[in-house]
Amino acid sequence: MSVRMISPTIPDDEKGYELDVFCVPKHYEEDLDRVIIPHGLIMDRTERLARDIVRDMGTHHIVALCVLKGGYKFFADLLDYIKALNQNSDKSVPLTVDFIRLKSYCNDQSTNSVKVIGGDELSTLTGKNVLIVEDIVETGKTMETLLSLLSEYKPKMVKVVSLLVKRTPRSSGYRPDYIGFEVPDSFLVGYALDYNEYFRDLSHICILTEGAKEKYKV
Ligand code: IMP
Ligand code: MG
């Protein structure tokens, strides 16, 4: 049975929330415009994604592959929800983890090259059901590159979950199997999404100010 996947859409004119209504680290107060996805909402959506994933993949051992560094928070929280499902139902599925590090960004621009700069030996994924866990899909190049790399190692099944998908004319048209939220074409930080390594230590997903792009430029 095919199940229609819907994902919440954050509109282009989303006002979000003033920084003052939530807790934001003092060192970032000047750098952020608004909170657009509060941490609690990320968690609520992640809980449901876990349920959908277990429904579809829950008959065989799953290898969850975290795309570092941006995916680490989402990965950890998603796996906690999958674990909770596993330990509270009559049906459960073994879950193992793997990590890969990719880099495609400099400042707020996606570069054309996607580099694998670390992680486990991909040959361990041969014959497995692999769940790739990513923070955000923008052009889709990173994911398309990773998927083609992975296919050389012949996994049994590959599904991709991305917490965010950006609505952008730069998109290749690639769509992950599971999407947390569809977001406007702005540069987003927080919940492990970074700008030149800053803002991973922020719980909510926020829009960066133009001034902050200058301040943290490399
Ligand atoms: P893509 O290859 O253009 O789809 O870009 C995907 C990668 O770029 C993601 O894995 C992120 O690491 C990074 N990225 C894209 N947009 C953003 C953003 O708004 N904030 C932080 N990182 C981003
Ligand atoms: Mg990423």
Counting ligands in written order, the one closest to the CA of 176 is 1
- Least distant ligand from the CA of 146: 1
Instruction: Give the residues across from 115 on adjacent strands.
Output: 103
Per-residue model confidence (pLDDT) at position 102: 82
Pocket mutation for ligand 1, best pick of 136, 166, 186 (most atoms within 8 Å of C-beta): 136
Rounded to the nearest 10 degrees, the angle between the axes of helix 72-87 and helix 39-57 is 60
Q: What is the mean pLDDT of residues 56-74?
A: 90
Rounded mean pLDDT, 173-183:
97
- Better pLDDT: 115 or 21: 21
Confidence of residue 93 (pLDDT cuts 50, 70, 90): confident
Give every CB contact of residue 64 below 8 A, 6+ residues apart in sequence. Answer: 75, 78, 79, 82, 95, 96, 97, 98, 131, 133
Answer whether residue 1 shows pLDDT above 90. no
Q: What is the mean pLDDT of the chain?
A: 91
Domain 39-183 falls under CATH 3.40.50.2020 = yes
105: Cβ–Cβ under 8 A, 6 or more apart, which residues? 111
136 ligand 1 Cβ < 6 A: yes
Domain ranges of the chain: 39-183
pLDDT value of position 69: 86
Task: Provide mean pLDDT across the span 12-31.
Answer: 94
Sign of the Cα pseudo-torsion (125, 131, 133, 134, in order): positive
pLDDT band at 95 (very low <50, low <70, confident <90, very high): very high
Q: Is 105 in the pocket of ligand 1 (CB under 6 A)?
A: yes
Give me the phi and psi of 156, to 5 degrees please. -75, -45
Amino acid 121 reads: E
